[in-house]
Chains A and B, each alone.
Chain A
Amino acid sequence: MPDRTTPDAAPDPAEPASGTATEPVPASSLGDTLVGGWDDRGEELPPEDWGRDGRQRRTGTVWLFALFITAMAAGHAWLSDQLTSQAFLAWATIFTAISFQAMPFLVFGVALSAALTAFVPTSVYQRLIPARPNRAVPVAGVSGALLPGCECASVPIAGSLMKGGVAPAAALTFLLAAPAINPIVMIATAVAFAGQPEMVLARFVASLLTAVVVGWVWVRFGRADWLRLPSHNHAFGDSRWKVFRESMLHDTMHAGGYLVVGGLAAATLNVMVPREWLLTVAGAPVVSVLVLAVLAILLSICSEADAFVAVSLTDFSPTAKLAFMVIGPMVDLKLIAMQAGVFGWRFVARFAPLCLLVGLLSTFLIGGLVL
Chain B
Amino acid sequence: MNRIAQGLTLVLLGAAALTSTVATDLYLNWVKQSFGPFLIAAGVVMVVLGVLVIVAELRGEKEAAATGGEAGRAGGVGEEASGAHHGHADGHGHDHSRAPGVAWLLLLPVLAVFVVAPPALGSYTVESTAGSTGPPPEQPRSGRFDDGLDEAAPDEVVAMDVRQFVMRAWVDEERGMAGREIELTGFAVPASEGEGWYLARLQMACCAADAIVNKVRVLGEPAPETDTWWTARGTWVEPEGEISEVSEHEFEILEMEEVTDPPDPYE
Whether, in the assembled complex, B8 has its beta carbon less than 8 Å from a beta carbon of chain A, the answer is: yes
Q: Nearest chain-B residue to A246 (Cβ)?
A: B96
Residues in chain A near residue B135, CB distance under 8 A: 314
Measured CB to CB, the closest approach of chain A to B260, in angstroms, equals 19
Stretch at the interface among A132-140, A175-183, A274-282, A350-358: A274-282
Residues in chain B near residue A312, CB distance under 8 A: 134, 137, 212
With A48-B68, A309-B210, A314-B135 as contacts: A80 and B96 at CB distance below 8 Å: no
With A45-B71, A75-B114 as contacts: A101 and B10 at CB distance below 8 Å: no
Interface residues of A in 293-309 (CB under 8 A from B): 299-302, 304-309
Q: Are B139 and A195 in contact (CB under 8 A)?
A: yes
Whether, in the assembled complex, B161 has its beta carbon less than 8 Å from a beta carbon of chain A, the answer is: no
Whether, in the assembled complex, A232 has its beta carbon less than 8 Å from a beta carbon of chain B, the answer is: yes
Q: Are B105 and A97 in contact (CB under 8 A)?
A: no
Q: Are A93 and B208 in contact (CB under 8 A)?
A: yes
Interface residues of A in 71-93 (CB under 8 A from B): 72-73, 75-76, 79-80, 83, 86-87, 89-90, 92-93
Residues in chain B near residue A3, CB distance under 8 A: none
Q: Mark A43-55, 1 if CB is under 8 A from B, else 0.
A: 0011010110111
Residues in chain A near residue B105, CB distance under 8 A: 257, 260-261, 264
Q: Are A34 and B89 in contact (CB under 8 A)?
A: yes
Q: Are B93 and A62 in contact (CB under 8 A)?
A: no
Among A62, A252, A275, A313, residue most surrounded by chain B Cβ atoms (within 10 Å):
A252
Q: Are A96 and B112 in contact (CB under 8 A)?
A: yes
With A89-B119, A100-B30, A309-B205 as contacts: A54 and B100 at CB distance below 8 Å: no
Q: In whole angstroms, how far apart are the Cα atoms of A242 and B59 in the complex?
A: 14
Residues in chain B near residue A69, CB distance under 8 A: 12
| Cβ 8 A contact of A258, one of B102, B140, B207 | B102
Q: In whole angstroms, how far apart are the Cα atoms of A313 and B136 in the complex?
A: 10
Q: Are A61 and B4 in contact (CB under 8 A)?
A: yes
Stretch at the interface among B42-50, B150-158, B172-180, B229-237: B42-50
Measured CB to CB, the closest approach of chain B to A240, in angstroms, equals 14
Q: In whole angstroms, how far apart are the Cα atoms of A246 and B56 in the complex?
A: 11
Among A37, A55, A266, A300, residue most surrounded by chain B Cβ atoms (within 10 Å):
A55
Q: Are A76 and B112 in contact (CB under 8 A)?
A: no
Among B75, B93, B95, B112, residue most surrounded by chain A Cβ atoms (within 10 Å):
B93
Residues in chain A near residue B129, CB distance under 8 A: 275
Whether, in the assembled complex, A248 has its beta carbon less than 8 Å from a beta carbon of chain B, the answer is: yes
In the complex, how many residues of chain B place their beta carbon closer than 8 angstroms to a beta carbon of chain A?
94
Whether, in the assembled complex, B29 has its beta carbon less than 8 Å from a beta carbon of chain A, the answer is: yes
Among B77, B118, B138, residue most surrounded by chain A Cβ atoms (within 10 Å):
B118
Q: In whole angstroms, how far apart are the Cα atoms of A315 and B247 in the complex?
A: 13
Measured CB to CB, the closest approach of chain B to A18, in angstroms, equals 19
With A245-B53, A260-B109 as contacts: A232 and B76 at CB distance below 8 Å: no
Q: Are B118 and A58 in contact (CB under 8 A)?
A: no
Residues in chain B near residue A80, CB distance under 8 A: 115-117
Q: Are B119 and A231 in contact (CB under 8 A)?
A: no
Q: Are A194 and B71 in contact (CB under 8 A)?
A: no
Q: Are A61 and B206 in contact (CB under 8 A)?
A: no
Whether, in the assembled complex, B17 has its beta carbon less than 8 Å from a beta carbon of chain A, the answer is: yes
Q: Are A54 and B77 in contact (CB under 8 A)?
A: yes
Q: Mark B203-218, 1 if CB is under 8 A from A, else 0.
A: 0011111101000000
Residues in chain A near residue B113, CB distance under 8 A: 96
Stretch at the interface among B33-41, B192-200, B251-259: B33-41
Q: Nearest chain-A residue to B108 (Cβ)?
A: A260
| Cβ 8 A contact of B5, one of A45, A54, A61, A309 | A61
Q: Are A261 and B102 in contact (CB under 8 A)?
A: yes
Q: In whole angstroms, how far apart are the Cα atoms of A191 and B9 in the complex?
A: 38
Q: In whole angstroms, how far apart are the Cα atoms of A274 and B57 in the complex?
A: 48
Q: Mark A237-258, 1 if CB is under 8 A from B, else 0.
A: 0000010011011101110111
Q: In whole angstroms, how far apart are the Cα atoms of A247 and B72 in the complex?
A: 15
Residues in chain B near residue A87, CB distance under 8 A: 124
Measured CB to CB, the closest approach of chain A to B143, in angstroms, equals 13
Interface residues of A in 84-131 (CB under 8 A from B): 86-87, 89-90, 92-101, 103-104, 106-108, 111
Q: In whole angstroms, how far apart are the Cα atoms of A71 and B137 in the complex?
A: 44
Measured CB to CB, the closest approach of chain B to A270, in angstroms, equals 6
Q: In whole angstroms, how far apart are the Cα atoms of A34 and B5 in the complex?
A: 27
Q: In whole angstroms, how far apart are the Cα atoms of A366 and B24 in the complex?
A: 46
Whether, in the assembled complex, A311 has its beta carbon less than 8 Å from a beta carbon of chain B, the answer is: yes
Chain A residues within 8 Å of B, Cβ to Cβ: 31, 34-35, 37-38, 45-46, 48, 50-51, 53-55, 57-58, 61-62, 64-65, 68-69, 72-73, 75-76, 79-80, 83, 86-87, 89-90, 92-101, 103-104, 106-108, 111, 188, 192, 194-195, 228-229, 231-233, 235, 242, 245-246, 248-250, 252-254, 256-258, 260-261, 264, 266-267, 270-271, 274-276, 278-279, 299-302, 304-309, 311-315, 341, 344, 346
8 A-B pairs with CB atoms under 8 Å apart are: A86-B124, A93-B30, A100-B27, A194-B139, A257-B104, A274-B128, A305-B207, A346-B91
Q: Knowing that A100-B27, A305-B210 are A-B contacts, what are 5 other residue pairs whose CB atoms are under 8 Å apart, sorted by A's residue number?
A: A34-B89, A95-B118, A275-B132, A278-B132, A301-B209
